[in-house]
Amino acid sequence: MRNPQSAIENPKSRAMLLAALYIAQEQYGWLNPEAIRRVADRLNLTEGQVRSTASFYTLFKLEPQGRYRIQVCEGLSCYLVGGAEPMMDFISKKLKIKPGETTPDGKFTLEVVECLAACDLAPALKVNDELYGQMTAEKIDALLEELRNV
C-alpha cells in the first residue's frame, strides 16, 4: 500500500512493531541485540528497520537499565516550583550517579525527562511507570529508602 519498498507485504503487521518492542523490552530489561533480532524475525522486518525505529523513541532502551528508572521532569512548571535541576542534583548526590548513569549494583538509573503532563503535581518524577508528585527533599529520601529495601 503506502510503502511498496517495505520488507513486508502487509503494513498492518509492521503496525505491531511498537507493541512488540514493549514486550521484548519487558522480557529482556532492555532492547539487546537478541531482543532486536527476535522482534525483526517475528514481524518479518530487517534488524536495521527495527533498530532505526526503536532509536526514535526515548522509552525504548538500547542500553541496559537499572531496576528502577528514576525520571526527573525538567519541564518549565516543575522548574518554577523548585523541581528540575535542583531536584536532579539532590537525587544525583544521594545515588552518587549522574543523569544517564546506572548505579554499580544495577538498582537505579537516573534520567531527565520532559513535561510528564503532571504540572499540577509539580515538582514531579516517575519511577518506572509510577508517577510521584509534589516532591520534597523528605519525600525523595523516603522514596529512595523504600526502593533500596525492596
Point out which residues bind ligand FES (CB under 6 A).
Answer: 73, 75-78, 115-116, 118-119, 122, 124
* Grid coordinates of 71: 525520571
Q: At closest approach, how far in Å is the CB of 114 from other proteins?
A: 6
SS3 state of residue 29: coil
Site for other proteins in 22-41 (CB under 8 A): 22
Residues 6+ apart with CB under 8 A from 3: 11
Between 45 and 78, name the residue whose CB sits nearer to ligand FES: 78
At closest approach, how far in Å is the CB of 118 from ligand FES?
Answer: 4
- Grid coordinates in use for 86? 535542583
Query: Min. distance of Cβ 25 from ligand FES in angstroms?
Result: 23
Closer residue to ligand FES, CB minimum distance, 40 or 122? 122
Of 105 and 116, the one with the shorter C-beta distance to other proteins is 116
Residue position matching grid coordinates 523513541 = 57
- Mask for 95-134, x = binds other proteins (CB under 8 A): ------------------xxxxxxxxxx---x--xxx---
- A 10 A CB-CB count for 68 gives 21
Residue 53 near residue 17 (C-beta atoms within 8 A):
yes
* Site for other proteins contains 68 (CB under 8 A): no
As a whole number of angstroms, the distance between CA 27 and CA 22 comes to: 9
